[in-house]
Structure 1
């Protein structure tokens, strides 16, 4: 696909064994006709029939580019590669297990065009199989370094139908200005998956741009629903990556007393969870946490390098978090933290 300056939006989808969802996902994307766009699918070593579906069902789509890798390179790396190959001024990231609503792009893009201070827009994400149950309306950051979802599994009654500053969101449906993406260096590929979006959005904020929730763009997401259950192996991987990458993100981005406070709180929490896993004889999950701490302890130079590179890139802006943190930090009660811990340990909703 040749370079085309008329393209406004590049839709980037990283696929990994998504044959169950790909056809419907792309079919819904190609129904959008109001703005000039292209679609870039980065296949990350799929072992199913994903590539066959792409090449047979969508071979006549002029503005579709397929980039295939023999191994799973991860979502962060896949998005970076898609962005490098893109023509658009905006990057619209989608997960392969999504379906987009009618006119999901034009209104968010129009809003972003009018607001040069916004770098990232999180679209409204609803659960696949429902008309009005939220999967995500963005996330706030607690004062102790944890993510607080604004709307997960709540009914959409219009309560979030206004543009609002958020700390982070999901690349299941996220629009990023390409100039901002390039300025901050894209996603951190060492954060293979989980916490790559908070790290990305933290750097967007630190660079002087806002991250906002844009309710006028609507999509449906299958992850975590009956349409897409999470296996035990993947659940253990989530635990490992969650522990490791949360701490990488804080070490890399937090400053001053917030750095000390967040590290202390997060490390303490993961050690409490580790002890709880051992008491429950959930040895595989305990090992996932231990392996995360071993990785962190054995890579101090990597962590210091990441922080120093960001400091060099941003200069004094690196330390000016107080200019924006108050907009996206939320205070949570002890009851909230205990409830989240109980939910994590026993798989109960909170």
Structure 2
């Protein structure tokens, strides 16, 4: 089983200087690629001069996360794609921990490692933690992270587990599964595209896992910081698109409930003085509604399968019941 580590880059020379050495040091059995989204800094010159063993794949424009990977991966033929942000530090045996799970079942399509914070190494990282889930309304959460609450890693999630989605910060996916699913939805540009891909894979009968034997550290905010209104826009709009496309249930009642819940989220931003984020949520909904015909066409072409959502409402669990840890959640059987 051959693996390719593919790092998407856009004007990330400083991040590559910091994190690429760890990737090369701990990925000796894989070919390492950098897929560049038409950087205007000297990223490519730096790679060519400093790490000539790295294969550079040049995209002609900034295609975002979804389009950038889709284009670059057309030219990568290894059996397993390991998609890695340029702001991730990997560790010894991280790759072996991911690949070993694929050997247990040919129905495993994707695997993510435990993802922890560079800034606070004792804590899980926001982007994926120890495996991603969503509630029945499409709001994401993780083992180790519920909304903004990040748990310390005390070994409580040191077990391999089937999850709902693998983090785009770092996950491995079978080439054949990725191509069968036709890759990421490029209309997303960035954010939530990995949840959409994983849901489509699950609807096709595959499973997604988190490996406890693989661990990486993520800086976060390398392209868009968590405070960016653009990031808020993409997260809210793309989450709605994912629901509409992939849910086996009638999406209309769910979308209506999301409209109400997202309105409350906007009021929460307003209460914190983040006025721009409040209006960005409205903008995200307007953008989503304008693309409903396109998303319905995609929905008609996609397989549907009843999925088990471990929690009916993570919003209720977090903000009403005051639950802050994954192991405190009461899971739904429906």
Structure 1 residue 278 displacement after superposition: 5.7
Number of the residue aligned with 2:58 = 68
Number of the residue aligned with 2:329 = none
Q: Aligned in 2, Cα 1:273/1:107: closer, same or farther, shift over 3 Å? A: closer
Show CA shifts across 1:251-294 (max 9, x none). 1001225x344322211112233355567774422332232222
Aligned length: 314
Q: Distance in 2 between matches of 1:179 and 1:92?
A: 13
TM-score (norm 2): 0.86
Which residue of the other structure, out of 83, 100, 119, is the alignment partner of 2:73? 83
Q: Is residue 103 from structure 1 mapped to residue 109 from structure 2 by the alignment?
A: no
Q: 2:155 aligns to what SS in structure 1?
A: coil
Q: Distance in 1 between matches of 2:235 and 2:262?
A: 10
Q: Is residue 210 from structure 1 mapped to residue 207 from structure 2 by the alignment?
A: yes
Number of the residue aligned with 2:108 = 118
Structure 1 residues without counterparts, runs of 5 or longer: 1-6, 341-350
Number of the residue aligned with 2:318 = 336
Q: Is residue 301 from structure 1 mapped to residue 293 from structure 2 by the alignment?
A: yes
Q: Is residue 13 from structure 1 mapped to residue 7 from structure 2 by the alignment?
A: yes
Show CA shifts across 1:59-104 (max 9, x none). 2x1xx22123353210111111232111210010100001110111
Structure 1 residue 301 displacement after superposition: 2.2
Show CA shifts across 1:213-264 (max 9, x none). 111111110015xx999275xx10011111211111001001225x344322
TM-score (norm 1): 0.82
Question: RMSD of the TM alignment (CA)?
Answer: 2.4
Q: Is residue 245 from structure 1 mapped to residue 226 from structure 2 by the alignment?
A: no
Assess if the C-alpha contact under 8 Å between 1:40 and 1:82 holds in 2: no
Q: Aligned in 2, Cα 1:111/1:289: closer, same or farther, shift over 3 Å? A: closer
Assess if the C-alpha contact under 8 Å between 1:34 and 1:103 holds in 2: no
Structure 1 residue 299 displacement after superposition: 2.4
Q: 1:212 aligns to what SS in structure 2?
A: strand
Q: Distance in 2 between matches of 1:283 and 1:339?
A: 27
Q: Is residue 230 from structure 1 mapped to residue 225 from structure 2 by the alignment?
A: yes
Q: Aligned in 2, Cα 1:192/1:162: closer, same or farther, shift over 3 Å? A: same
Q: Distance in 1 between matches of 2:301 and 2:208?
A: 22
Q: Distance in 2 between matches of 1:71 and 1:221?
A: 26
Q: Distance in 1 between matches of 2:59 and 2:317?
A: 45
Q: Is residue 94 from structure 1 mapped to residue 87 from structure 2 by the alignment?
A: no
Q: Distance in 1 between matches of 2:78 and 2:223?
A: 31
